[in-house]
Amino acid sequence: MNSTPKAVVIFSGGQDSTTCLFQAIQEFGVENVEVVTFQYGQRHAIELEKAAWIAKDLGVKQTLIDTSVIKAITSNAMMEEREIKQEGNTPNTFVDGRNALFLLYTAIYAKGQGIQTIFTGVCETDFSGYPDCRDVFVKSMNVTLNLAMDYNFNIRTPLMYLTKKQTWALADKLGAFDYIRQYTHTCYLGVEGGCHTCPSCVLREKGLNEYLSEKTSGQKNV
């Protein structure tokens, strides 16, 4: 076991995981933080390119794990060129088992590195209804992984109960607001700077506009 506590962040290069990365760096120090990024067959390479660039820019070790075998057993609009739309309680961008897979593989890697703390940017407040973003799922997965590997993992979800507006506020508090606004990628359609219409872009921009409006209003009242 390493004497210096370390952390690993499940990292996509998006707003949420980059916010978690900045929080992990603040708590553990940049030299004690790593990121794990997954190539799961996402239909746009820009997500992986952004993640690699940010990890290099911030000076954190990145490990890329290929889980694209999942494409052989499930289908969705995140991995295939098709229209994004709502199907029942969730959009068709939901990838069955993705976060369970991410947490499992990250935990396997973390144990091998002597790391106990895993950060993930999942949230059940402003979200698309994905069942594997809920707190009850993450807590159950934490217990399962601890039992499966006889190891004391601590899965951290700092954004779990934050709205997108509050996530922007946290980024600002961490001194990362401009960085995250400029360099992260969230768009489901793979458009640089965002398409402004997909569910992910709509959530991101709504939260940003709400935060900027509140911040501007607060400055005027000072």
| pLDDT per residue as tens digits for the range 170-204 | 999 999 999 999 999 988 888 899 999 888 899 99
Alpha helices, H only, the chain? 15-28, 46-58, 98-113, 135-149, 164-173, 177-183, 199-221
Chain centroid, CA 24 distance in Å: 13
Identify whether the C-beta of residue 116 lies closer than 8 Å to the C-beta of residue 150: no
Q: What is the 3-state secondary structure (H, E, C) of 1-36?
A: CCCCCCEEEECCCCHHHHHHHHHHHHHHCHHHEEEE
Q: State pLDDT tens for residues 120-139.
A: 999 988 666 788 889 999 99
CB neighbour list of residue 53: distance below 8 Å, 6 or more residues apart: 13, 183
CB atoms within 10 A of CB 7: 24
List CB contacts of 195: < 8 A, sequence separation 6 or more. Answer: 187, 188, 189, 201
| Unique residue bearing structure tokens 């569910």 | 199
* Domain ranges within the chain, ordered by starting residue: 7-221
- The number of residues making up the chain comes to 222
Please return the burial class of 125, using the count of CB atoms within 10 Å of its CB with bins 0-12, 13-18 and 19+. Answer: middle
pLDDT above 50 for 55: yes
7-221: CATH homologous superfamily?
A: HUPs (3.40.50.620)
C-alpha torsion angle, residues 61, 126, 184, 167 (rounded to 10) = -70
Mean pLDDT of all residues belonging to the chain? 88
pLDDT recorded at residue 188:
80
